[in-house]
Amino acid sequence: MSATDTLTTAPAAVAEAGDPLDEQAIRRDFPILSTEVNGRPLVYLDNAATSQKPRQVIQALVDYYEKQNSNIHRAAHTLAARATDLYEGTRTRAAAFINAPDSREIVFTRNTTEALNLVAYTWGLEHIHKGDEIIVSQMEHHSNLVPWQRLAEAREAHLKYVPLTPTHKFDVAAFTALLGPRTKLVAISHMSNVLGTIAPVQEICRLAHQAGAVVVVDGAQSAPHLPVDVQQIGCDFFAFSAHKMLGPTGVGVLWGRFELLEAMPPFLSGGSMIGQVQWQRSTWAPVPQKFEAGTPNIGDVIAFSAALDYLTAIGMERVRAHEREMTEYALHVLKEDHPDLQVYGPNDLDWRGGVVSFNMADLHPHPHDVGQLLDDQGVAIRAGQHCCGPLHLALGAPASARASFYIYNTRADVEALSHGLQLVKKTFRPRRRP
């Protein structure tokens, strides 16, 4: 058995293809889900921020530090060879997961944010010039907005925004109208972390390429929840994070077309990313090592393999079907039990992922108060702007509360959320005078 085989893992129970997920069997793989919060069973609905980790991923991390801990790509001893084999095995798995043509196109970073900054500071500074145009959408996370703001400012370029339709979908007609001869870059979130809106990235790439633009897709929310095929999408760069898809924190992935990565200058410089170093100049290692300076996050990258194996064994089509069911049920229950809620995002589930953001329109508690009161009931949601300040301005809301689903969530979790919101209403409803 090779070193890469030792960490091949799968869920405790995998149904036949086409069958729904067995949530209870899956839940048994997640130790944290047996935790109590404030004396109540944990109901974890903050998956858009980070997912929980199955014991297979936790054990993979322990195994690395107990059995293979060594630096990679350098020493000739056995532990170094094992660690390198495992690390590069994750690169192969990540490439297969998104159907990348070549595993050398996978660059490991700290997170999606760093992956997007890498593109901005390498490809962007080389190719964006005064008067050029960069197009983003109104639903972008700050990670897929602020780097392009800074690039536009540094190069005296123009940043343009694609609006949302009244039903919170990506406005393809408006996007088409914004494209022009000066459009050099289009950066789009595949799935909104606030609205759940799924952008038609394949059509966006087709239109952008017709205009001669390069397309960056922020896949932080889509890679954990949807089948992703970068060749089918047709994008030029795709970025995502391990921690949102059952993996450890501190690991991001940038996929880029090989010819683009090969032509780009390094992002960080120092050890590991060099070819030769002389007194006055240096040359660079080939892709992807050129972009992986210094000692990387070896253990967490290796443990990410277990997460990729886990999701692959389940099947991303099944993951998508389960979350669609959870979202449909949540929208139904919230509408029935809380007709006064202002819920954001498309009603069309073909356009929506497993995210439900809302505000209590009649009582006007701050989302942080909603989150705190739900936490008292053991229900974990997110409250705030979710790193989407401009989007909340467009929505006319200072902030929102957000529930987000994953493979271990059940209808009982949705019902716990609804029950918790009833208690929130009782807390904020003005008492009647006798």
Structure-block tokens of residue 330:
């949540």
pLDDT at res. 18: 60
Structure-block tokens of residue 97:
């997961």
| Amino acid type, 385 | Q
Q: Express each pLDDT in 304-347 by its tens digit.
A: 999 999 999 999 999 999 999 999 999 999 999 999 999 999 99
Structure-block tokens of residue 313:
């064994």
Q: Would the pLDDT of 353 be above 50?
A: yes
Q: Would the pLDDT of 112 be above 60?
A: yes
Report the run of H or E that residue 40 belongs to, with start and end.
strand 40-41
pLDDT at res. 434: 45
| CATH architecture for segment(s) 78-312 | 3-Layer(aba) Sandwich (3.40)
Ordered strands of the 183-189 beta sheet: 106-109, 252-256, 237-241, 214-218, 183-189, 133-137, 158-162
Which of the residues 205, 235, 387, 388 is marked catalytic?
A: 387
Helices (H) and strands (E) in the chain, counts: 15, 17
- What is the pTM assigned to this prediction? 0.95
Average pLDDT over residues 359-375: 88
Structure-block tokens of residue 340:
């006064």
Q: Would the pLDDT of 108 be above 80?
A: yes
390-398 LR contacts (CB < 8 Å, sep 24+): 390/138, 390/140, 390/145, 391/138, 391/139, 391/140, 391/192, 391/194, 391/195, 392/194, 394/138, 394/163, 394/164, 395/344, 397/342, 397/344, 397/359
Report the run of H or E that residue 87 belongs to, with start and end.
helix 78-97
Helix %, strand %, coil % for the chain, to 5?
45, 20, 40
pLDDT at res. 43: 98
Provide, rounded to the nearest whole percent, the portion of the chain with pLDDT above 90. 90
pLDDT at res. 292: 97
What fold, for 43-50+316-422? Answer: Aspartate Aminotransferase, domain 1 (3.90.1150)
Average pLDDT over residues 54-74: 96
- Mean of pLDDT over the chain: 94
pLDDT at res. 365: 77
Which residues face 343 on adjacent strands?
358
Q: Would the pLDDT of 7 be above 60?
A: no
Helix ranges (H only) for 246-315 are: 258-263, 298-314
Q: Which of 152, 146, 115, 110 is nearest to 130 (CA)?
A: 152
Query: Where are the domains positioned within the chain?
Result: 43-50+316-422, 78-312
Sign of dihedral through CA atoms 17, 21, 25, 31?
positive
Provide, rounded to the nearest whole percent, the portion of the chain with pLDDT above 70. 94
Give the C-alpha separation, 36 to 42, whole Å. Answer: 5
Query: How would residue 2 be classed by pLDDT, with cut points 50, 70 and 90?
Result: very low
Q: Express each pLDDT in 134-173 by its tens digit.
A: 999 999 999 999 999 999 999 999 999 999 999 999 999 9
pLDDT at res. 139: 98
Average pLDDT over residues 383-406: 97
pLDDT at res. 429: 74
pLDDT at res. 428: 85
* Residue pointed to by tokens 């036949």: 16
Give the C-alpha separation, 190 to 192, whole Å. Answer: 7
Give the C-alpha separation, 390 to 293, whole Å. Answer: 34
Query: How would residue 12 be classed by pLDDT, with cut points 50, 70 and 90?
Result: low
Q: Which of 247, 286, 244, 242 is nearest to 263 (CA)?
A: 286
Query: How would residue 20 be classed by pLDDT, with cut points 50, 70 and 90?
Result: confident
Q: Is 387 a catalytic residue?
A: yes
Give the C-alpha separation, 354 to 330, whole Å. Answer: 9
pLDDT at res. 1: 32
pLDDT at res. 5: 41
Which range among 66-75, 111-120, 314-323 shows the weakest confidence by mean pLDDT? 66-75
Average pLDDT over residues 301-306: 98
Q: Express each pLDDT in 36-53 by its tens digit.
A: 999 999 999 999 999 999
